[in-house]
Amino acid sequence: MKVTVKLFAFFRDGRFKVEEREYPEPTAVSEVIVGLGINLDEIGITMINSRHCQFETLLKEGDNLAIFPVIGGG
User: In the complex, which residues of this chain contact other proteins (CB under 8 A)?
Assistant: 8-10, 12, 17, 41, 44-45, 47, 50-52, 66, 68-74
- Taking the complex as a whole, the smallest distance from the CB of residue 61 to other proteins amounts, in Å, to 21
Pairing, β 64-69 against β 2-7? parallel
DSSP 8-class letter at 31: H
Pairing, β 43-48 against β 64-69? antiparallel
Residue 20 vs 42, nearer CB to other proteins: 42
Cα(39)–Cα(51) distance, integer angstroms: 22
- Taking the complex as a whole, the smallest distance from the CB of residue 50 to other proteins amounts, in Å, to 5
- Taking the complex as a whole, the smallest distance from the CB of residue 10 to other proteins amounts, in Å, to 6
